[in-house]
Structure 1
Amino acid sequence: MKHQKVSDKHAMIAKFTEEAMQLGGRVSANQRHFIKAALAHGKTMEPAGRLAGANRECSHA
């Protein structure tokens, strides 16, 4: 009985994964550009100071 539940769960995972891949579509050229830029420049292009937003470690937020 337990074996059947496990195989059903794996079948559902495979089905949902396939459906997500179909609905998600492909990576656009613009998305690919941002990924390449992020990999090339790393954290040097990240905003600093006020542009970075609120500090999460700050206790008086």
Structure 2
Amino acid sequence: MDKAREEIAVNLGNEEGAYKEIWKITYDKWEFQLHPHLHAPAYYLNPRFQYSDNFSTH
């Protein structure tokens, strides 16, 4: 999710006013749908993500 949000910012010229609302929407969706207790451990335990250079424990 963090990488997607960074890509959105870059694609919109890193102008906060252009991507701020989109970031809020993605954050709200992430918190409501994709961050329940089931998805967080699945991400953490998935070897594809766990051994990635960009692995986030946040």
Q: TM over 0.5: same fold?
A: no
If the length of structure 2 is used for normalisation, what is the TM-score? 0.29
TM-score (norm 1): 0.29
From the CA coordinates, give the structure whose radius of gyration is larger.
1
Question: Greater RCO between the two (CA within 8 Å, min separation 6)?
Answer: 2
